[in-house]
Structure 1
Amino acid sequence: MHYVGIDVSKNKLDICLLYDGVKGKRKTKSLLNNEHSACMLIAWLAKYIPALQQVNIVMEATGVYHERLAYSLHQAGGRIAIANPLRVRDFAKGMGILTKTDKVDAYILACYSALKQPDVWQPPPIEIRELKALLCRRDALLEDIQRERNRYEKSGSTHTPKRVIESIEAMMHHMKNELSELEALIAEHINQHPNLKKDFELLTSIKGVGTQIGLRWCRHKTFNQRARQRI
Structure 2
Amino acid sequence: MNELWVGVDVSKRELDVALMDERGKVKSRVFDNDAQGHAALLGWLQDRAALAEHTHLCLEATGPYSEAAAIALADGGWRVSVVNPARIKGFAQSELVRNKTDRADAALLARFCAAMRPDAWQPPALEYRQLRALVDRLQALKDMHQQEANRLEGHCFAGQEELIASVRQHMDWLQERMAELQRQIDDHIDMHPQLRRDADLMRSIPGAPQWPRYWPISATSDASATPRPWPHSSA
Query: Residues 84 and 69 (structure 1 numbering): CA distance in 2 closer, same or farther, change over 3 Å?
Result: same
| TM-score after normalising by structure 1 | 0.89
**Which structure 2 residue ranges, 5 or more long, are not aligned?**
222-229
Contact 1:199/1:223 (8 A) holds in 2: no
Q: Within 5 Å, which residues of 2 pair with 1:54-65?
A: 54-65=54-65
State the Cα deviation string for residues 135-175 of structure 1 (Å, max 9, x = none): 11111111100000000001122252x32221101110000
Moved more, 28-37 or 168-177: 28-37
**Residue 166 (structure 1) aligns with:** 165
| Equivalence for 2:73 | 73
Shift, 1:184, TM fit: 1.2
CA-atom RMSD, angstroms?
1.8
1:191 aligns with 2:190: yes
CA distance in 1, matches of 2:212, 2:185: 14
- State the alpha-carbon separation in 2 of the partners of residues 33 and 113 from structure 1: 21
Partners of 2:97 and 2:212 lie apart in 1 by 40
Q: List gaps (5 residues or longer) in structure 1.
A: 225-231
> What is the rounded CA distance, in whole Å, between the counterparts of 1:92 and 1:50 in structure 2?
26
2:19 counterpart (17, 20, 26) = 17
Could you report, residue by residue, the CA deviation over 1:66-102 in whole angstroms, capped at 9, with x for unpaired residues? 2222221122211111111111111111111133221
TM-score by length of 2: 0.88
- The aligned runs of 1:74-223 (5 Å cut-off) are 74-160=74-160, 162-212=161-211, 215-219=214-218, 220-221=220-221
Deviant stretches of 4+, over 4 Å: 221-224
1:113 alignment partner AA: C
* Larger CA deviation: 122-131 vs 65-74: 65-74
Task: Report 1 or 2 for greater relative contact order, CA contacts < 8 Å, sequence distance ≥ 6.
Answer: 2
Q: Secondary structure at the match of 1:157?
A: helix
2:64 partner SS: coil
User: What letter is aligned with 2:211?
Assistant: Q
Number of residue pairs the alignment of both structures matches: 221
What percentage of aligned pairs have identical amino acids?
Answer: 33
Counterpart-to-counterpart distance in 2, 1:35 and 1:223: 24
Matches of 1:60 and 1:223 in 2, distance apart? 21
Structure 2 match to 1:228:
none
